[in-house]
């Protein structure tokens, strides 16, 4: 090959595709007037230059033929790299019929993904029911639960079918959750009837089927929780207890603790109960619960907590006091002022053709109105 031309052919694989590179560089002297190069034999130089040009052109043609043959050879021997398979579709919320459900009272409609960790998971059972404040209170509670890792939220609604407002709220909720129906029978509805029992029992039945360890906690949607209480709850080995503020005229419901041991209860309504505690004032270890044959909560007004704890066959001296030996209040039994259902919106253009149409689906009207 003449010194005036260098050809480099490089072959490589990039992303499964074969790449061929040809690089050429000509170092022949640029034709310049003889006078500019300081030489007088113009005719002889022109003849010599033309001869050199012809040689270079022949060499370039030869290299182009070799290059074309190399390309054809590489194409015939190239390995086809298959495209990676498309990613699997995201998991869809599962919808179970009544026959597939844990119990006829409960049905799993949508479920978030529980977080994987070596820490003990907390199963928070929250009963709820249709009312103007429902989504607002669920939203407030979810903002606290978002701060707690390794938690699975069981939202259990007393309804005959899944409600649009709650499902819409859960669609935007980042807390791992399961939505269940815990429909109360008619005989347990009305004044002086046990409330939330069917919901809590539906949650307990779900835990019995789906959980092997962890901690159970009943968290009503209208209470207020310091997120640190969940760090305390996670340590429960059998049954733990802790103070709840804003309960009765005494201002608090709490175990009485001396030297790290439970010696009594301070509550505004003892009523002969062995365990006079608030529903938000105790937690139960899942393994312990299953070992005790997974009892349900009784339909007994005012004695739901006491009946449930007695069914666990736990002794008062075995209770584990949390919240620094029950010296700190981290849960409050707050109560939202009841709001009357909204007045029905008129079916006029000012509603149907404006933003009011969208807000209408988020407002609770009297039963039978929309």
Catalytic positions:
305
Contact 335, 108 (CB under 8 A): no
What does each C-alpha distance from 203 to 169, 304, 355 come to in angstroms? 19, 15, 37
Contact 179, 159 (CB under 8 A): no
Query: Distance between CA 159 and CA 169 in Å, rounded?
Result: 16
What are the structure tokens assigned to 177, written together?
């959750």
Positions of E strands within the chain: 5-14, 17-26, 122-128, 151-157, 177-181, 215-218, 224-225, 239-241, 244-245, 252-258, 261-266, 282-285, 320-321, 331-332
What does each C-alpha distance from 131 to 157, 275, 342, 346, 359 come to in angstroms? 11, 31, 11, 21, 16
Query: Distance between CA 259 and CA 262 in Å, rounded?
Result: 9
Characterize 185-201 residue by residue with b for buried, 16 or more Cβ atoms within 10 angstroms of its Cβ, and e for exposed: eeeeeeeeebbbbbbbb
**In terms of Cα–Cα distance, which of 183, 201, 178 is closest to 105?**
183
What does each C-alpha distance from 120 to 151, 188, 364 come to in angstroms? 9, 35, 38
- Can you tell me whether residue 20 is helix, strand or coil? strand
Degrees to nearest 5, angle at CA 253 with 327 and 274: 115
């Amino acid at each position: 090959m003449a010194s005036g031309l260098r050809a480099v052919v490089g072959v490589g694989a990039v992303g499964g595709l074969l790449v061929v590179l040809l690089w050429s560089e000509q170092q022949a002297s640029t034709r310049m007037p003889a006078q500019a190069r300081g030489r007088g034999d113009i005719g002889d130089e022109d003849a010599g230059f033309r001869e050199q040009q012809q040689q270079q052109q022949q060499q370039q043609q030869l290299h182009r033929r070799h290059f074309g043959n190399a390309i054809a050879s590489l194409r015939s021997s190239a390995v086809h790299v298959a495209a990676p398979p498309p990613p699997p579709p995201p998991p869809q919320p599962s919808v179970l019929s009544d026959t597939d459900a844990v119990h006829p009272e409960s049905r799993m409609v949508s479920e978030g993904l529980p977080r994987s960790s070596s820490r003990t998971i907390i199963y928070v059972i929250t009963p709820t029911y249709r009312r103007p404040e429902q989504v607002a209170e669920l939203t407030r509670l979810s903002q606290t639960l978002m701060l707690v890792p390794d938690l699975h939220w069981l939202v259990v609604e007393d309804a005959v079918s899944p409600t649009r407002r709650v499902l819409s709220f859960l669609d935007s909720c980042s807390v791992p959750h399961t939505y269940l129906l815990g429909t109360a029978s008619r005989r347990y509805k009305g004044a002086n009837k046990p409330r939330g029992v069917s919901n809590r029992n539906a949650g307990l039945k779900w835990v019995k089927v789906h959980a092997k360890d962890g901690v159970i906690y009943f968290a009503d949607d209208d209470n207020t929780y310091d997120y640190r209480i969940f760090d305390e709850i996670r340590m429960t080995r059998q049954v733990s207890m802790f103070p709840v503020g804003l309960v009765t005229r005494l201002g608090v419901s709490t175990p009485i603790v001396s030297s790290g041991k439970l010696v009594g209860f301070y509550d505004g309504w003892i009523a002969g109960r062995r365990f006079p505690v608030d529903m938000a004032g105790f937690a139960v270890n899942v393994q312990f619960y299953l070992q005790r044959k997974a009892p349900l909560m009784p339909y007994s007004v005012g004695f739901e907590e006491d009946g449930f704890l007695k069914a666990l066959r736990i002794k008062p001296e075995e209770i584990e006091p949390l919240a620094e030996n029950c010296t700190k209040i981290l849960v409050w039994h707050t109560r939202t002022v009841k709001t009357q259902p909204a007045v029905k919106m008129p079916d006029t253009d000012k509603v149907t053709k404006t933003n009011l149409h969208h807000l209408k689906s988020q407002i609770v009207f009297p039963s039978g109105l929309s």
